[in-house]
């Protein structure tokens, strides 16, 4: 059996006293449950292992790029580990142009810091892990089970024409068992997805704010929603594939789509929308997970002359409601629940929960209120763990 990566690192770093990365970089500090990599050709931060684009994986050192000829060193506009980066010249979730690191079997938390990029996704083990990180130096994390002794990771497309860059990885062992914690998986569109920086973005999706209402000891939240998404795309373009790779009994899968499906440019009839959603429900249920359907909230402007917010005829809502009944899955009718809340606070206060000049997309406060409504409804329905 291959020696653990840390034994190799200890031999390289402590035994031989080698300085990793650029000349004069501080000595990397290895620990048997943490692996930290600083990518690019610049100075290496204290406690990190420096990795240049030319560093090829070898079993002896236990890390490196599978095809370094398809990597490139680039500067980045951040500081510390975010001051330089590597670019993945070839990419795609199935690409062999990966950064490989040998790891003992277990469950790991991987903190990712990107370089300069407008929008990039992170893939590992052949599937998406994080969807559409935006902005230079964006930071996010995910849990991943490793059972084959090696993590294979790359940064890939979130937007055609963007550069896909990586500045740093911080990989921490959180369990010796390669099984993910109980997980709430989320599928959706721009009203649900993450925006960056995660803790301070002005715009936010309710899936991004859901962790504020969840006990992190009970669940991890994996938000796989993305802006502009439709049911056909979520099913066929890799997001559902990633969920199905890891979803398990005890997990929840909350699915909210319909806004973009109703746009004529996406050529999705209501009947087609319903069947795409049905297939995702059945695939997740077959893995033993609990599927929860949610209907999208309406626009801030959906008030009638009596001051009542009403948007029940939008976004293929009726098909989502019918599908929940037909497939026997719980429904969060966020459309109706949010309308009741908006009616209670009035048009002016409702508008303040949306982005300026935008009656569809919630701002951070609006996303927080929607997340609160979702959790309160799940708790009311007796969902275990809320």
**Residue-level pLDDT at 31:** 55
Q: Which residue has the higher pLDDT, 23 or 277?
A: 277
Pick the last residue of a domain from 141, 175, 209. 175
Residue 268 within any structural domain of the chain? yes
Residues 188 and 133 in one domain: no
Examine the domain organization and report whether 200 and 258 are in the same domain: yes
- Under the banding of pLDDT at 50, 70 and 90, the label for residue 27 is very low
On whether the CB atoms of residues 188 and 127 are closer than 8 A, the answer is no
The pLDDT tens digits of the residues spanning 126-160 come to 999 999 999 999 999 999 999 999 999 999 987 77
* Contact criterion met (CB below 8 Å) for 88 and 163: no
Cα distance between residue 114 and residue 250, in whole Å: 32
Q: What is the mean pLDDT of the chain?
A: 92
- Helix 334-345 × helix 364-380 angle, to 10°: 120
Q: Are residues 347 and 205 in the same domain?
A: yes
Predicted confidence (pLDDT) per residue in 41-89, tens digit: 999 999 999 999 999 999 999 999 999 999 999 999 999 999 999 999 9
DSSP of 90-113, one letter per residue? S--TT-S--EEEE--SEEEEEEEE
Residue 167: active-site member: no
pLDDT for residue 384 is more than 90:
no
- Same domain for 166 and 31, yes or no, is yes
Rounded average pLDDT over 170-185: 96
Per residue in 288-311, pLDDT (tens digit) is: 999 999 999 999 999 999 999 999
Q: Which of 120, 294, 319, 361 is catalytic?
A: 361
DSSP conformation letters of 358-380: -SSSBBHHHHHHHHHHHHHHHHH
DSSP state of 378: H
Q: Is 344 a catalytic residue?
A: no
Catalytic residue from among 33, 148, 358, 384: 358
Which of 175, 209, 225 lies at the terminal end of a domain, its last residue? 175
Dihedral angle computed from the Cα positions of residues 280, 98, 103 and 182, in that order, rounded to the nearest 10 degrees? -20
Q: Can you give the residue range of the structural domain that contains 139?
A: 5-175
CA distance 279 to 266: 19
In this structure, is residue 386 part of a structural domain? no
Is the pLDDT score of 354 beyond 50? yes
Residue 361 catalytic?
A: yes
Residue where a domain terminates, one of 131, 155, 175: 175
pLDDT band at 13 (very low <50, low <70, confident <90, very high): very low
Tens of pLDDT, residues 233-289:
999 999 999 999 999 999 999 999 999 999 999 999 999 999 999 999 999 999 999
Name the active-site residue from 52, 190, 226, 294: 190
| Predicted model pTM | 0.91
Pair (60, 143) in one structural domain: yes
Residues 197 and 168 placed together within one structural domain of the fold: no
37 lies in the same domain as 156: yes
- Pairing between strand 84-88 and 71-75? antiparallel
Task: Say if residue 113 is in the same domain as residue 201.
Answer: no
């Amino acid at each position: 059996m291959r020696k653990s990566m840390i034994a190799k690192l200890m031999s390289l770093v402590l035994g031989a006293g080698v300085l990793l990365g650029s000349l004069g970089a501080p000595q990397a500090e290895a620990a048997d449950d943490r692996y930290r990599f600083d990518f690019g050709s610049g100075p290496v931060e204290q406690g990190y292992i420096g990795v240049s684009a030319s560093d090829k994986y070898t079993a002896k050192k236990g890390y490196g790029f599978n095809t370094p000829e398809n990597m490139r060193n680039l500067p980045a506009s951040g500081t510390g580990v975010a001051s330089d980066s590597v670019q993945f010249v070839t990419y795609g979730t199935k690409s062999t142009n990966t950064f490989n690191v040998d790891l003992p079997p277990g469950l790991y938390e991987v903190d990712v810091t990107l370089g300069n990029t407008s929008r990039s996704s992170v893939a590992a083990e052949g599937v998406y892990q994080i969807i559409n990180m935006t902005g230079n130096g964006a930071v996010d994390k995910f849990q991943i089970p490793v059972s084959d002794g090696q993590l294979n990771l790359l940064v890939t497309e979130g937007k055609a024409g963007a550069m896909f860059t990586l500045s740093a990885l911080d990989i921490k062992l959180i369990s010796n068992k390669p099984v993910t914690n109980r997980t709430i998986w989320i599928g959706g569109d721009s009203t649900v997805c993450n925006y960056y920086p995660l803790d301070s973005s002005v715009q936010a999706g309710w899936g991004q704010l859901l962790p504020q209402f969840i006990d992190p000891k009970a669940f991890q939240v994996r938000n796989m929603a993305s802006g502009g998404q439709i049911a056909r795309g979520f099913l066929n373009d890799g997001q559902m594939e990633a969920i199905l790779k890891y979803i398990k009994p005890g997990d929840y899968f909350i699915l909210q789509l319909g806004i973009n499906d109703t746009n004529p440019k996406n050529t999705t009839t209501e009947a087609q929308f319903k069947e795409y959603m049905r297939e995702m429900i059945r695939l997740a249920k077959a893995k033993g997970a609990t599927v929860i359907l949610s209907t999208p909230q309406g626009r801030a402007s959906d008030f009638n002359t009596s001051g009542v917010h009403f948007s029940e005829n939008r976004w293929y809502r009726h098909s989502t409601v019918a599908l929940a009944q037909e497939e026997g899955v719980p429904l969060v009718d966020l459309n109706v629940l949010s309308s009741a809340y908006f009616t209670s606070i009035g048009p002016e206060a409702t508008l303040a929960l949306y982005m300026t000049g935008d009656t569809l997309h919630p701002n951070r406060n609006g996303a927080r209120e929607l997340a609160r409504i979702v959790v309160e409804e799940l708790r009311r329905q007796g969902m275990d763990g809320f």
